[in-house]
Chains A and B, each alone.
Chain A
Amino acid sequence: MSEEEPVPVRRRTVLKVATAAGTAAAAGAAVPVTGAAEGATAPAATVPPTVPAGASVEITLSVNGARRRVAVEPRVTLLDALRDRIGLTGTKKGCDRGECGACTVLADGERIKSCLTLAVMRQGSRITTVEGLARGDDLHPVQAAFIRHDAFQCGGCTPGQIMSAVACIAEGHDGSDDEVREWMSGNLCRCAAYQNIVAAVRDAGREMRG
């Protein structure tokens, strides 16, 4: 079935060009559909923006402080939009089903699993990825603590762990080792570096509170 075809263009280099051009080229022959197109002949209040199956829509995200316009089909997850369309591959695709947490990013300041949300559902959102934490060469305290405590081995889960830890500390859920384990439970580490991850989160939390 044609509906089953994957997103036509996947090569990152091509996608970067398409994104830079601000067009829907990445979606191949799909015609970009905006909210205005469907509502052109009726009051906007009664006819919501509709994107037909197979078509793309241009959305705007604020990613790490930069305004990014990207054309996506409705089926494109925020994770894939970040990695394949915007080119920010720091956010990892682990299980792609919400279990491992490697894809954790902040959306409007809250941690979410970016594989479980569609990019179109995040129109206008403020997204922070692991690339957005450091200030130049100055690492975020959580990043520095992960290095200090050797809180990773293969690194596959690390961007998600770090983003989740930033939120975990902001939520105030880092008061004890047990609390950190509970509130970091959405992030799995198959190298089992949990001991050091817990230490890093607690250390960073203490540092951030001064």
Chain B
Amino acid sequence: MRAFGYTAPADPATAVRLAAQPGTTYVAGGTDLLNLMRDGAEDHEHLVDINRLDLAAVTADDAGLHVGGLARMRQVAEDRRVRTGFPVLSQALLASASPQVRIMASIGGNLLQRTRCGYFRDPGSACNKRVPGSGCPAVEGQNRMHAVLGGSPHCIATHPSDLAVALLALDAVVRVLGPDGARQIPVGELYREPGDTPHLENTLRPGELITAVDVPGGPLAQRSRYRKLRDRATFEFAVVSVAAAVHLRGGRVRDVRLAFGGIGTRPWRSPEAEDALRGRALTAVAVAEAGRALVRGAQPRQHNAFKVELVQRALTGALHEWGALR
């Protein structure tokens, strides 16, 4: 790693002021950042260590769950209130990374981790994310793990966070603090599709720090599940994943939230699939229609076309929890 400067401020305002400087970024767990800097995928002159900030609490009230940006993955996954009131979050976290990394990695950092696209992580390759305008070898190259939804000719990398998919399904809101003060961003508006600017992955402004994530509670959150399919049983990123929350009443879908990982250039919410289920019984026919609605705009490439079918099966599998197809 190149030489870089280091500051460990004790209050968020100082952290934000420092991080707004060019060439500066935050470090929390460090589990993604250190590899990005080793690989040369990111280059920073100065790190602002935020681990001394008081942002690690997890609280719950009538509105729902409030997770500090510096809460750790394990801490949230094992929290009793999360496991009972927001099972999709706990399941998504426990299906992520390894036990050691879950102990280290922060919630804010998890949401802002970078894609595992091999071309992005290899400075010897062209990559529009890493070097804007240099090209995207994945479009015609090794794209088995890449996105079938939300891509552009300039980038088809997936966002790797399982947690983001789960939070997207629960309509979570990210609270940030920046040089211009605090604001809130729905998780659905946090991530950008690549378009012509794949290097712009999120809607945060320079120096903005994720201080917390608010997750609305209720029947949907309580009845939420995460289903992740990967190339090995554990410690692997998703090929496809499904975060599903279904509220059934009288045998019919009163409300439903469906979000997907591994298939989109950003965590992928599918209002089309939700609409296909809302108000209906969870039959095989209805679920199949929802799956088709999900992939209607899919643009498969040479090696990832199987994801179009796989994600529909994953959706069916996930909805088995609620008795679909019985």
B98 touches A186 (CB 8 A): yes
Shortest CB distance A58–B (Å): 13
B14 and A112 within 8 A (CB): no
Contact A112:B103 (CB < 8 A) given known A48-B10, A121-B27, A186-B98: yes
| A116 lies within 8 A of chain B by Cβ | yes
Q: Which of A17-25, A73-81, A143-151, A197-205 contacts B (4 or more CB under 8 A)?
A: A73-81
A52 to chain B, nearest CB (A): 5
**Closest residue to A183 on the B side, CB-wise?**
B99
Interface: A206 (CB within 8 A): no
* Residue B63 CB within 8 A of the other chain: no
B55: shortest Cβ distance to chain A, in Å?
15
B10: chain A residues at CB < 8 Å are 45, 48
Please judge, given known A-B contacts A51-B6, A53-B5, whether A113 and B38 are in contact too, CB under 8 Å: no
Question: Among the listed B34, B46, B235, which residue makes an inter-chain contact with A118, where contact means beta carbons less than 8 Å apart?
Answer: B34
CB distance from A135 to the nearest CB of B (A): 25
Number of A-B residue pairs with CB-CB distance less than 8 Å in the complex they form:
115
- Whole-angstrom distance between the Cβ of B296 and the nearest chain A Cβ: 36
* CB <8 Å contact, A111 and B34: no
Chain B 1-14 interface mask (CB, 8 Å, partner A; 1/0)? 11111111111001
Write the chain A residue with the least CB distance to B9.
A48
Most B Cβ at <10 Å: residue of A3, A50, A74, A123? A74
Q: How large is the interface on B (under 10, 10 to 19, 20 to 34, 35 or more residues)?
A: 35 or more
Does chain B have a CB within 8 A of A90? no
| Chain B contacts for A13, CB-based, 8 A | none
Given contacts A53-B4, A186-B99, contact A116 B35 (CB under 8 A): yes
Do A48 and B14 contact each other (CB < 8 Å), given the known contacts A98-B31, A116-B35?
A: yes
Contacts of B14 in A (CB 8 A): 46, 48
Task: Assess whether A207 is interfacial by the CB under 8 Å rule.
Answer: no
Please indicate the chain A residues that have their CB under 8 angstroms from the CB of B45 in the complex: 53
Given A3-B2, A53-B3, A113 and B101 contact (CB-CB distance below 8 Å): yes
Among B5, B30, B46, the residue within 8 A (CB) of A121 is B30
Question: Do A104 and B6 have beta carbons less than 8 Å apart?
Answer: no
In the complex, which residue of chain B has the Cβ closest to the Cβ of A72?
Answer: B6
B4/A75 in contact, CB under 8 A: yes
Question: Nearest chain B CB to A76's CB is how many angstroms away?
Answer: 9
Assess the A77–B5 pair: CB atoms within 8 A: no
